[in-house]
Amino acid sequence: MYVRPREWDILRALADLGGKARADDLARKTGVKLTTLMSDVASLAEKGLVRMREETRRRAKLTEEGLRYAKLGLPERRLVKALENSGGEADIRSLSASAGLSGEELKIGLGWARRKGWVKVRKGTLRLLAVPRETAEEKALRALSEGLEDLGELSQVLPVLEKRGLVEVVEEVHKILEITEAGLRVLQLPRPEEEVSQLTPELIITGRWRSIRLKKFNLEAPGTPVFPGRMHPVQEVIKEIREIFLEMGFEEIRGPLVETAFWNFDALFTPQDHPAREMHDTFYLLEPSEGDLPDLRTVEAIAKTHEDGWTTGSTGWGYKWDAKEARRLVLRTHTTATTIRYLAEHPDPPVWVFCVDRVYRNERVDYKHLAEFHQIEGIVMDVGVGLRDLMGILAEFYRKLGFEKVKFWPSYFPYTEPSVQSTVYSPELGAWVELCGAGIFRPEVTRPLGVKHPVLAWGGGLERLVMLKLGVKDIRVLYRNELGWLRGVPICP
Ligand code: PHE
């Protein structure tokens, strides 16, 4: 067991005080601040070298008035003295001045002097009966002003002094320290050397490291929490998703937030009168309100596909396709707009790309919904890929995110066939949670773009995933940026 030199000094001082002392006395004796002393004492107590207990003590303390009387004398004493000086008899009013008593003090002094039988009053004249010797009260006042605190010795006069408001009894809690047997044994050894907390190059070169005592690290000591700058928790999850996709051989793509309805809807075989296009779901731009369509060949192929199925084998939607509707500018409602745009420019396999980015929907904001949020999107276009590959890739993606159990349900999207909805099991919630919609792009989507191989596609909200990972119940918390929450999200969950 190592005892630091400062601790050793405290033991020494305690032993010198008879092995037992009050903490404040010991602090005075060692010249160490009480708080510092107590931290050393705690360490000594932990090592079993010192015992500590608390003692409640009552002690007498002079009040302000008591202090004054201890200095000047009790009013009755001063009155009697003045009376004696004026020959044993005097007019009360004149005495007040010669005794140097205030009106209040004169009243007090007169009262007590009469009660004690020192004076007699007759017709406004005061006569001295006896010159008293120092009383017990006066002795007590003097003793108290000289530092006596012990109640035992004062027990006789204390009630009077208390009643007169000259003394009050206060309770004090003292820490009593006592050196133990083990503590005494430590003092038999020489005073220890200071521990070295930094091993310097100099200590190593000179070889002094051999003789010094190195301070041990306390690996259990709690550190002070630090709140350094950090990435936003949502960005951290995005980064993790990005890394997973990259690990799986995907490349990241981005696309415009302001998109034409053409790429957001038409290219995805979403009918022009589809309810999702309506104002309550999609934000349409007023200024500018229209954008450019791609090359005519692509536009015509898509128009024909909507009208009668073109060469895709489909019957189409059976209406007259409107280019003006397709030119309308919208805030991207899903990142599928971005993958389809990319696909149109990269019609040849293999294509393994993903996109994690913002999308917009005209939603009433509540604990589950935001009008601006993120989607995770991916497509795989490769020779001979199918639904099994799609489910395998998604399951692998979720597994890497920490979700072991995945299920797929049949679903519907205008642009995929078959379509599935994927759900993952959240052990924290004890429930299955829907994440990505997925499917294989229909020929109505791929053929007009000149894509000849199957395209696996999936997409879903990011925030719900972040909420699952961070245990957040209200989606708005993610973007409220409350410092307390931001700091509390563990960096290494
Ligand atoms: N775009 C769909 C959505 O916003 C998800 C999806 C993407 C579905 C790709 C199938 C294929 O919910």
| CATH number for the domain harbouring residue 483 | 3.30.930.10
125-128 β-sheet, strand order: 89-91, 125-128, 119-122
- Domain of 122, CATH number, reads 1.10.10.10
Give the least confident one: 120-129, 184-193, 257-266: 120-129
Same domain, 26 and 71: no
Q: Is residue 413 part of a domain?
A: yes
**Whole-number mean pLDDT of the chain?**
93
Question: Does some domain include residue 228?
Answer: no
Are 105 and 49 part of one and the same domain?
A: no
- Ligand 1 pocket: which of 259, 334, 444 to mutate (most atoms within 8 A of CB): 334
Kindly state whether residues 293 and 439 are assigned to the same domain. Answer: yes
Q: In DSSP terms, which residues pair with 62 in a beta bridge? A: 167
Quick check: CB of 291 below 6 Å from ligand 1? no
36 within some domain = yes
201 and 271 belong to one structural domain: no
Do 245 and 393 lie in one domain? The reply is yes
* Cα–Cα dist 394/378, whole Å: 10
Question: Shortest CA distance to 436 belongs to which of 397, 402, 385, 475?
Answer: 397
**pLDDT band at residue 444 under the 50/70/90 scheme:** very high
Q: Which tens digits make up the pLDDT trace of 47-78?
A: 999 999 999 988 888 999 999 999 999 999 99
Residues 53 and 71 in one domain: no
Same domain, 251 and 310: yes
Tens digit of pLDDT for each residue in 71-104?
999 999 999 999 898 888 888 888 888 888 888 8
For the chain, the domain total comes to 3
Q: DSSP characters for 274-341? A: -GGGSTTTS-B-SSS-B-----HHHHHHHHHHHHH-TTTT-----S---HHHHHBEEE-SSTHHHHHH
Task: From the CA of 336, give the closest atom in ligand 1.
Answer: 1
Of 129, 107, 130, 132, the closest CA to residue 120 belongs to 129
Q: Going by CA atoms, what residue is nearest to atom 4 of ligand 1? A: 334
**Domain co-membership, 309 together with 429:** yes
The answer to whether 146 and 68 have CB atoms below 8 angstroms apart is no
156 & 131 share domain: yes
The 8-class DSSP code of residue 486 comes to H
Same domain, 50 and 75: no
Report the pLDDT value the prediction gives residue 434, as an integer from 0 to 100: 93
3-state secondary structure 203-240: HHHCCHHHCCEECCCCCCCCCCCCCCCCCCHHHHHHHH
**pLDDT tens string 461-479:** 999 999 999 999 999 999 9
Assign 338 a pLDDT band (cuts: 50, 70, 90): very high
Q: Are residues 52 and 70 in the same domain?
A: no
Instruction: Compute the C-alpha angle 444/304/300, nearest 5°.
Output: 105
Instruction: Say yes or no to pLDDT of 406 above 70.
Output: yes
pLDDT tens per residue, range 240-280: 999 999 999 999 999 999 999 999 999 999 999 988 888 77
Which domain range does residue 316 map to?
A: 234-488
Asked if 371 and 444 sit in the same domain, the reply is yes
Decide whether any atom of ligand 1 lies within 6 Å of the 416 Cβ: yes
Closest CA to 234 of 123, 372, 121: 372
